[in-house]
Amino acid sequence: MNKLLEDKKRPFFWLFLLNIILILGILFSLVFLFINQEKLFDSQVNRYNSYRLGDALRQSDDFLTEYCKNFIITKDSIWEEKYWDLVALREGKLIPEERGWSQSILDSMYQMGFSKQEFALLKEALEKSNQLIKKETQAFNAAKGIFLDSTHQYTIQGEPDMDKALQVLYDNEYLYTKKEVMEPIVKFESLIESRTQSTVEKNRESGERLLVTIFIAVAVSIILSLVTYYMIVKRLIQKEQLSNQLQSRNKEQACLYKISQLTENTPKDIDHILEVAVSIIPYGWHDTEKTCCRITFKENTYTSIHFAESKWKQEASIYDGKNAVGQIEVFYNDLSLDLKSGPFLKEEQELVETIASLISNFNERKSYLENLRESNENLKQEIEAKEKTELALIEKEQQLQFALDVSNEGIWEIYQDSDVINFSERCYSILGFTSDSADLDQEVFWKDLIVDGDQNKVLINRINEIKTSGLHDSIYRLKTKNGQYKWIHTKGKAVAFSDKNVPLRIVGTMSDITERMKQEEKIVDAILETEDKERSRIAREIHDGLQQTMSTSLMSFEKVRSTVDFEETKINERFQMGYQYLKKAIEESRTLAHNLMPKIVNDNGIVAAIESLLTALQPSSNTEFNFDQNIHENRLKLAVEMTLYRITQEALNNVIKYANASKCNIQLLKHSDVLLLTIDDDGEGFVVEEKIKTFGINSMRTRAESIGAYFEINSQLQRGTQILIELPLE
């Protein structure tokens, strides 16, 4: 369903995403259009400044000629000052800020970005203009009476010669040079016009393309919006249609449910069923108020309220076996409709056929029950004849059951051609269950009750072995209904064999031996308690007797050692050897007394004892020991604490001697129904099958089982070793 909804949402997602992409495209196009217009504006400004620069150069030549003529004619120095100011302006020595220039004409030429050809024309015009300045300088000096010497320097003084000055300005050479100045300027302006026009055309075409792109994107976005709107409206219409269809299906289901409930009540007769059904059926059609129903069954007819026939009709037959014995007719009374296919839905035709089928089934079932009742009467006499025989059999079974109840045992059976074990009710009641508990899956039921470690012992897991050998005898634990554990003893043997001596039927018993195991545990506890008391007594004897004697001897040795000076080296060596052996004997006796009965277990509990043990072992070992626990100061039975301590002590000694481990983790965790002790290391490991019968492992297993705990050891080469002790808490 979720996949279907995702498929329906996907077109909207892609339309929305495409619309977003188009809007982003429009925005980017507008940005590019703005940049295009800026370039177009810059090209126009560049053309204007280029014309302005060329015009300034042209006017400067005209002004220089005019200023020179005015000076020659008027002899007024102001015209000479204006002349040289204008020359300074052209050479970049003066900036005419009052005319709107922010830099010299020469600097403007460098910053306008002209091409090499354009700049060459401007330079050519300036060089020609500088030739005119030389002529005009000669005219200025002639008007002042200063003339050129042989070295072309103005050093010769004389009378001012106005005619010569004017002759310089009007001779053919001057006029021809002035004409040459204008030719590169005209060519420059032509090149500027051509280049600027090309840039303008290029930017204009680019702008037009961007505008067309924007218009197309806007048009497509509008079309997508219209398509999205159409799809949303279509989807809303579909949802409304689905809602109407769902409402119709609900009415049909409600009608069908009422009819099915009615036909399930078999004690009622067919007439009652049909009277009620004819009033229910109209409520299952989409237009209930305009729908009516008629049911004919054999010679009887049943109609709904306000019944009236019309041309709009749906019908289905009621059968008794293969013969039609009745009919259901549904009419639609709104004759104002002009529909070719009729006002009924396809599902409503299926509904009337289903109702007819339910009534047919009820009628057949009713007939079958009546026939069955007659058959029962015939069988009753036969049954009474067999009752006497069965009474005798029941009496024998009761005697057998009584014997089993007295012995508190259940019976089980295994057949060679079946993988199912037949358990008696007593097998279930031993654990607080009933046989109904295993109706769904027998194997799952029994395996859920198995305690970890007993999987290979349980009857349900040894079916193939029992079929082969014909014998079974095993003791294990199972979990009861209230969560406790019971010791179970199952045993059996084959009672039927094939011609080839293959067991065909194996019969056995299941017994609750929990009390017997508890008594055995009490005996073991008593033995362990006696053993601990004897250990404690021996430890006290060593501490109070032997250690005191040796300590007194050591003090005497100390006194002799401090007062006597041995002259012979050999005697001194013997004395020192005896002294050291005595100290070592005292230390070993102290260790022996502690190992026999660690006082810290009795005084402070298992947690403090393990912590003390780790503190003692850590300095002499390269293994890092970590201890986690949640018992804290809570105490267990002394026998349990002592057993767990002995197992931990044995395991840690093995880690130090054989594992060559870098880390060892000890966890003592108490849960609601079980106490867990785990010891795992990252050492070299070993093959469990080769070491399982060694003294150390057997000793730990025996100690664990003595307090009713489950013992398990797992190890792999180069993968470390893990020991698990699981003690059920009652």
pLDDT in tens, 235-274: 888 777 777 777 777 777 788 778 777 777 656 778 888 8
Give me the percent of the chain exceeding a pLDDT of 90. 4
Question: Which pLDDT belongs to residue 5?
Answer: 47
535, pLDDT greater than 70 = no
Tell me what the mean pLDDT of segment 167-195 comes to: 73
89/722: higher pLDDT? 722
Tell me whether strands 663-670 and 624-629 are parallel, antiparallel or unpaired.
parallel
Tell me what the mean pLDDT of segment 628-651 comes to: 86
Question: Which pLDDT belongs to residue 546?
Answer: 66
Q: Which of 204, 157, 183, 167 is nearest to 61 (CA)?
A: 183
* pLDDT category of residue 603 using cuts at 50, 70 and 90: confident
205/541: higher pLDDT? 205
Question: Which pLDDT belongs to residue 584?
Answer: 74
381/318: higher pLDDT? 318
Question: Which pLDDT belongs to residue 666?
Answer: 94
- Give one word for 432, left, alpha or beta, with left for phi > 0 and alpha for psi -120 to 50: left
In angstroms, the CA 90 to CA 104 distance is 7
Tell me what the mean pLDDT of segment 381-406 comes to: 65
| Long-range contacts from 714-719, C-beta under 8 angstroms, 24+ separation | 714/688, 715/685, 715/686, 715/687, 715/688, 715/691, 716/685, 717/684, 717/685, 717/686, 717/687, 718/684, 718/685, 719/685
597/642: higher pLDDT? 642
| 421 burial type by CB count under 10 A (0-12 exposed, 13-18 middle, 19+ buried) | buried
Strand partners, 291: 332
617, pLDDT greater than 80 = yes
* pLDDT category of residue 1 using cuts at 50, 70 and 90: very low
Question: Which pLDDT belongs to residue 206?
Answer: 78
The winner for highest mean pLDDT among 219-228, 254-263, 709-718 is 709-718
373, pLDDT greater than 80 = no
Structure tokens at 675: 């106490």
DSSP-derived secondary structure letter, 451? P
The winner for highest mean pLDDT among 170-174, 226-230, 253-257, 413-417 is 413-417
Question: Which pLDDT belongs to residue 15?
Answer: 75
The predicted-structure confidence for 645-669, as pLDDT tens digits, reads as follows 889 988 988 888 888 899 999 999 9
156, pLDDT greater than 50 = yes
Give me the percent of the chain exceeding a pLDDT of 70. 79
Tell me what the mean pLDDT of segment 368-396 comes to: 73
| Long-range contacts from 602-607, C-beta under 8 angstroms, 24+ separation | 602/536, 602/638, 605/631, 605/633, 605/634, 605/635, 605/636, 605/641, 606/631, 606/636, 606/641, 606/644, 606/645, 606/668, 607/631, 607/632, 607/633, 607/668
Tell me what the mean pLDDT of segment 271-283 comes to: 82
Tell me what the mean pLDDT of segment 287-306 comes to: 85
Structure tokens at 411: 């019976």
Question: Which pLDDT belongs to residue 4?
Answer: 45
449, pLDDT greater than 60 = yes
Tell me what the mean pLDDT of segment 685-703 comes to: 83
Q: Which of 651, 668, 637 is nearest to 532 (CA)?
A: 637
The predicted-structure confidence for 95-151, as pLDDT tens digits, reads as follows 555 555 555 555 665 566 666 776 677 777 777 777 777 777 777 777 777 777 777
Question: Which pLDDT belongs to residue 664?
Answer: 94
Residues in the chain: 730
The pTM score is: 0.34
Lowest mean pLDDT among 2-16, 200-214, 311-325, 715-729: 2-16
The winner for highest mean pLDDT among 151-160, 383-392, 549-558 is 151-160
In angstroms, the CA 646 to CA 694 distance is 16
710/392: higher pLDDT? 710
Tell me what the mean pLDDT of segment 320-340 comes to: 76
679, pLDDT greater than 90 = yes
Helix (H, G, I), strand (E, B) or coil at 97: helix
Tell me what the mean pLDDT of segment 295-300 comes to: 86
| Long-range contacts from 554-560, C-beta under 8 angstroms, 24+ separation | 554/579, 554/582, 554/583, 554/586, 557/582
The predicted-structure confidence for 42-68, as pLDDT tens digits, reads as follows 666 666 666 666 666 667 777 777 777
The predicted-structure confidence for 182-196, as pLDDT tens digits, reads as follows 777 777 767 776 777
Burial 491-509 (b: 16+ CB within 10 A, else e): ebebeeeeeeeebeebebb
What average pLDDT does the chain have? 77
| DSSP track, 194-235 | HHHHHHHHHHHHHHHHHHHHHHHHHHHHHHHHHHHHHHHHHH
Question: Which pLDDT belongs to residue 570?
Answer: 77
287/567: higher pLDDT? 287
637, pLDDT greater than 60 = yes
